[in-house]
Structure 1
């Protein structure tokens, strides 16, 4: 059975102190989750600019960087399904990356895309593939899997034929580079997420799940609503088919990461609502 996890970025506003973090992690367990996905920049003291940028994007990191997350997740009985890192950090501080993975007892390190990067530029994307292969090979020697996490910008055409995500799949070594597939972002980009998932096959080691739809909270001026993230089963994505495909591919974990459009602006109420879908379609602990 795949682990059901929550991405730590959802929890920034409700893990600012040890007491709040314990309360939030217990709420996750009570809802049926048995895993968590950590971010390196959230388990370590976070630079002010990083906190400012993530808050501006609607996903504040909070002030939990000084907490003992290894102790907290162990006491809660949660497994760490992966650790999010940036590629440059892995390359510059390889030994530190290995130590961090060992500290949290995880065998997966995930790169969450590239920043200030042009996915339409074939030269840049080709170089990225080379870097992924090299970093993945080094991590493999340490017993750690390197996974790549997508957003929507990878679905831009890189050569007039393939989009950048297809190019990355084709030009990375399956032995050294796997994928944490996020189905929300290709859907947002107008791409069939199920087709991409089938293309990945067993290279998809983790599945990031979210739903996409609308949440009407007040009257609107026009008949056009703005689509956004929403709780699982409340949107218009075919999550049943996507979950079925993910499980048939043998994913290790299904990881919830909804954005800022939460019920009553509460990430806890949001992951509790989404847990009902996951418990039905992924299974109960």
Structure 2
């Protein structure tokens, strides 16, 4: 399986093209094989998008004008996949197909929708229809559409059924599959291993993170909020999760965290996580 980094980690260490090249080479040296790109980080985006991502703790940097294809190749990495938004895929499927071909990846990934009500069953059913339609168009061009979750998909649409359950049952497995992020269902109180077994071979990519607590200053109270941690330093049963991912032969395990890094450094953080990745992922 390919060991990769999600590009969202790199916004603060890709402030210019030279720094981007150095960061990618450091990722390769740590033992990673690939990178998952984001559409809004590899091409010019609006000021609003940049401000929204920064406000969410995910600064995207100024890499929209860089030659990411050359940067990735020079570092000796591969592109595992590209994150894009559903609106763009619906409006410009040919552009997205060309983008995937350019970077040599077969996976385009949609993340949880901004300002979307995952407790509204009809809205979720509409989303499933859109996913199936877009997935069919991409499939005809040899590109696979995956859905990436956060925690909002685990809202109930009816007693005993979550939005994620509905997305799993109402999407066509020949056109739509999944990139599971195990951190978010854990945050939502979901049994992650059970969920992974339910997805089975529909899980094509696996986003990995650990969940725990790091104090950056003395606590006002003994009640601590959980947050992302380097792999193996939190409280998730990542070994069992990686074992399940290997069982269903996912194509890549992709590290993603975007805050709470050791020494506030995404590069030091990914190097610590690489110790786990290099030990358990073959």
Match of 1:232 in 2: 231
Per-residue deviation, 1:161 = 2.0
Matches within 5 A, 1:157-172: 157-172=156-171
User: How many residues are paired up?
Assistant: 282
Q: Distance in 2 between matches of 1:260 and 1:50?
A: 18
Give the SS at the match of 1:109: strand
Q: Could you tell me which residue of structure 1 aligns to residue 175 of structure 2?
A: 176
Structure 2 counterpart of 1:277: 276
| CA positional deviation for 1:17 | 1.1
2:40 aligns with 41
Equivalent residue, structure 2, for 1:250:
249
Q: Secondary structure at the match of 2:156?
A: coil
1:154 match: secondary structure: helix
- Give how far 1:221 is off: 2.1
Q: How does 1:191-206 map to 2 (within 5 A)?
A: 191-206=190-205
Q: TM-score, normalised by structure 1?
A: 0.98
Q: CA separation in 1, counterparts of 2:49 and 2:173? A: 32
Does 2:123 match 1:124? yes
> Which deviates more, 213-222 or 246-255?
213-222
1:69-218 alignment to 2 at 5 Å?
A: 69-218=68-217
* Superposed displacement of residue 216, structure 1: 2.0
- Partners of 1:113 and 1:218 lie apart in 2 by 32
TM-score w.r.t. the length of structure 2 is: 0.99
Structure 2 portions without partners, runs of 5+: none
Cα deviation, residue 115, structure 1: 1.3
Write the distance in 2 (CA, Å) between the matches of 1:111 and 1:265: 28
Secondary structure of 1:110's match?
strand
Looking at structure 2, the residues matched to 185 and 42 of structure 1 have their Cα atoms a distance apart, in angstroms, of: 22
Aligned to 2:58: 59
SS in 1 for 2:51: helix
Partners of 1:221 and 1:8 lie apart in 2 by 34
Q: CA RMSD in A?
A: 0.7
Paired position in structure 1 for 2:12: 13
Q: Please state how far the C-alpha of 1:15 moved relative to its aligned partner.
A: 0.9
Q: Which runs of 5+ in 1 are unaligned?
A: none
Distance 1:114 1:159 in 2: 20
Partner SS, residue 158 of structure 1: strand
